[in-house]
Structure 1
Amino acid sequence: MLSDNNLNKSIVYAGSDTFSIQPLQRLLSLKYRRITVLTRPPKKQGRGMKVKSNPLAEFAIQHNLETLIPESPNENSFLEKMAERKPDALITSAYGKLLSEAFLDSFYIGSINIHPSLLPRWRGPSPIESALLEGDKTTGVSLIQMTEELDAGPIYQQESIQLSGENSKTLSEKLSLLAADMVQKFLPIFLEGNSSTKNQDESLITYSKIIKKEHARIDWNEPSQAIDKKIKAYYPWPVAHTYLDDKYLRIWDSESLTGDEDNSSPGEIVESNQEGVVVKCKHSKIILKVIQPEGKKEMLAADFARGRKLEGKRFS
């Protein structure tokens, strides 16, 4: 059972995207009483470029949580507000902004950053996508002490999971739940001042990159395994895409195939069947299972192929 002393600690929880919701939800279910959410301002999104709050901000509003939304948490005026609050602890999860030493010094006990990789592998903004693109067999969650350098702080705890065909959406969901479990177990130790850390091994650092829409364009001259990894890594954003008859087509799900018995060229549609649409890649093939044609909704590739003569056509 958690002590009243711990449940009354002042915690600032900083985050922005869907990944950051589960750990916060767990803290609320455990009856931590003084949680303030720190998140990013609304921004224009979607085709209509409407101003929209991020997923964590919407969750905070739905649960009537006090929410702070500064343009920059490192500005002097905001730092003064934090000093007046005298918060005990900071937990960050996909907040998306670098935090200054002055900001981090605002917290009496210290800080915990939830990072969805086994640091020092995949520091940076896209650790989940990078693990899938590189075909990692395992990944996990690291709880680290925050420093001014991105994802470079000493490690409190790590837990790993085996990868088994996930895409970025399903892997993010798994890691978010794992993070919630880890925070539940670790936070009481941390709040009581009994935590310890180990430094990251600098010789093992790898960095993930900022993902852009153009990264998701399919190159059919790559092997099918590389294309399949890209399709899984870039779902649900920016979504792998290609062109058929000069029309934009998004690819939501696929499976790499073995065997290369024909003389077709990369990007050529070899056949369509009840499983989907089979496409030639470099020395291999891939079956597209779920797609979204331009101007239409997501659909099974087999349904798209039905009634169309696709064999011999080429994706570009």
Structure 2
Amino acid sequence: MREYLERHLEPLSNRDDDQSSETWLHSFPESIRRELLPELKFDDSGTETVKLPGGGTLAFSYEPVPVDAIEEYRKIYGEISPSDLMEGYEHLASETMVVKLREKCRKLTSLSIQTSFGKSIQLAGLPVRHVLFSTDDTWIRSSYAERYTKDVLLYCPPTSILSLLILFHEIGHLECEKQLTKREVARRSRARGKYQGEIGVHPIFTGKARVEGFEEVSELVLREERDAWAVALSKLRHVMPAFDVRREDVLKSIHEITLSGYSDAIRKRMGREPSVYKMLDTLSTMLKGILDTRQKTTAEKLT
């Protein structure tokens, strides 16, 4: 295994591969997923301010998703066949996307965190065009940064430290990308595509080139995720005490829940790579099956 993966893969967890979004959410510590505005009902536009448990305020404003952005997503995802979408990403089908953006999403126009001890952070100035958030957590299964538009789609409102961590993690992807050349951006995009294509493969025959190729793209993907989390933490760590969360809970959320999802997938895929001995056993079984079939056919002809 490549040295980077040896050092940075999280230990294999006991997570169920098919866990629901609700189960995933409840795997986070309560202090991390605690809603600061649990009864909030969204209008078309508005401004909300909430006092933070550790002192200070979180304030944000929102408005409908711009029509031009909706049309842009219609064009982007109109080229994708619904049958080509992976499980859990069916919401990216063009017309579904358009309806949900119009009905279930809002654009975050501003966000600021001001602590009682003089630390603050704002959304303004960060390398993101639009932050589009779902007004409930039943539409988007997971948040992501849209690299073509420089937008972030957030699975829920920015009303918990968990949603803020994820928001700044996705912005971290865009910020890291700013430091890369166009060639490197394209390379990483191809790597993520290859990673997604390989992660569910169950190979029959061993192949050194395939193993090395998967390790290479896995390293790039894991680096991207870790780098984006590093950006998120660097931006939020000064205001984190205002949310009254323990450092251990934050690190558990990042390492044991989010990064471990990638690590589990990589370890399991590599564990499915057959050894030479397993390959020989497979070949032996296949040949035995062929011989048995031929012998049976010959016997039937003789009788």
Classify the TM-score, shorter chain: under 0.3
Higher RCO by CA contacts (8 Å cutoff, separation 6 or greater): 2
Q: Which has the higher helix share?
A: 2
